[in-house]
Amino acid sequence: MCIQNSVKRDKNGFPREFAPGNWWLGGCFPMKANDGKGYDTGGVEEIHSHVTCYLIVGTEKTLMIDTGTPANWEMTSDYLDRILGDRPLDWIIPTHWEVPHSGNLEKLFKKYPNSHAGGDLRDYHLAHPEYTDRLHIFEPEHRIDLGGGYAFVSLPAPIKDLTNSVWGYEEHEKVLFTSDGFSYTHHTNLVKEDDEDVFLHVEGECSLLSHEIGIYPTVQQALFLTKAALYWTRLTPVEPFFAEVGAMMDKYPPKYIAPAHGNVISDIEKMLPIIREAHEIAYKQGPTI
């Protein structure tokens, strides 16, 4: 099933087949020094922040998790062409409403006229009334057989960004797709914005698995994206949510965790305590007034 050798990768290493049949469709927003926005990049010319979507290629069906942003549409569309060739995209799973996760849904519907979207899409018909016949609300643990042992299971997100956030699990390679959950970055504070440290990553690290980077995030670095992506973590104790995560991982044991904002996690035992502690500190620090 692994076809990575036949697909051209760009300078940042995307698209990457990080596990057979599971593709990482990169999408990083670069920030440059002296770009008029007041960024201080600490002498590094360009730094990046992940906004990622994924593609699963089974023998019978294909499925995309999140859509990428409209700003990255041309890149995302090109990656899909490289990987799929003449094959269609069958399923699109937007994990929630926000632009990085569903902003290209209409573009994907137009590019692949027989594709369908699924998940907790309870309000999507309001934005896409012309596509209501292609919007499907899934019950928890809805399973889509993709062929060749590949299957995607739609899961209610224990760590949500919005009320209708969903996660997912690919059975063949044991990949847990966590949307804004498990968001992290790992490099030093290269940027200051409004006197706040902003932790991102440098060019060349975009498509590396977590164990390949050589730099593990400190709790403070993981805390930055936790607080930025999930404001509610400042208001609510995390224990019940991580209890749900633990139960989910018992039932759907992951070999990889694939977040929308951060490198694919390939060494879960090392990373999980860092992510959890970041949530705990966010709650202890409380809201910004």
DSSP 53-97: EEEEE-SS-EEEES---GGGHHHHHHHHHHHHTTPPP-EEE--SS
Residue ranges in the chain assigned as alpha helix (H): 73-84, 99-102, 105-111, 124-127, 210-213, 219-229, 239-251, 268-285
HSE (CB half, 13 Å, CA atoms) of 60?
Answer: 9
In the prediction, which pLDDT does 32 show? 67
* Closest residue by Cα to residue 107 from 145, 65, 70, 64: 70
Integer-rounded Cα Rg, in Å, for the chain is 18
What residues have CB less than 8 Å from 128, skipping those under 6 apart? 105, 106, 109, 135
Asked if the model's pLDDT at residue 38 lies above 60, the reply is no
* Residue 280 forms part of a structural domain: no
Place of tokens 């990085």: 100
User: Domain range holding 141?
Assistant: 4-217+257-265
Name the pairing type of β-strands 135-137 and 116-119: parallel
* Residue 231 forms part of a structural domain: no
What's the pTM?
0.90
Distance CA 132, CA 106 (A): 12
User: pLDDT by residue (tens digit) across 154-207?
Assistant: 999 999 888 899 999 999 999 999 999 998 877 655 555 555 556 578 778 889
Asked if the model's pLDDT at residue 35 lies above 60, the reply is no
> Which CATH number covers residue 212?
3.60.15.10
Residue pair 62/87 in contact (Cβ under 8 Å)? The answer is yes
- Could you count the other beta carbons within 10 Å of the beta carbon of residue 15? 24
Tally of structural domains, the chain: 1
In the prediction, which pLDDT does 252 show? 98
* Residue 52 forms part of a structural domain: yes
* Residue 243 forms part of a structural domain: no
Q: Which residues of 39-60 are buried (b: 16+ CB within 10 A; e: fewer)?
A: bebeebeebbbbbbbbbbbbee
* Residue 230 forms part of a structural domain: no
* Residue 163 forms part of a structural domain: yes
In the prediction, which pLDDT does 11 show? 87
* Residue 182 forms part of a structural domain: yes
Name the pairing type of β-strands 191-193 and 175-179: unpaired
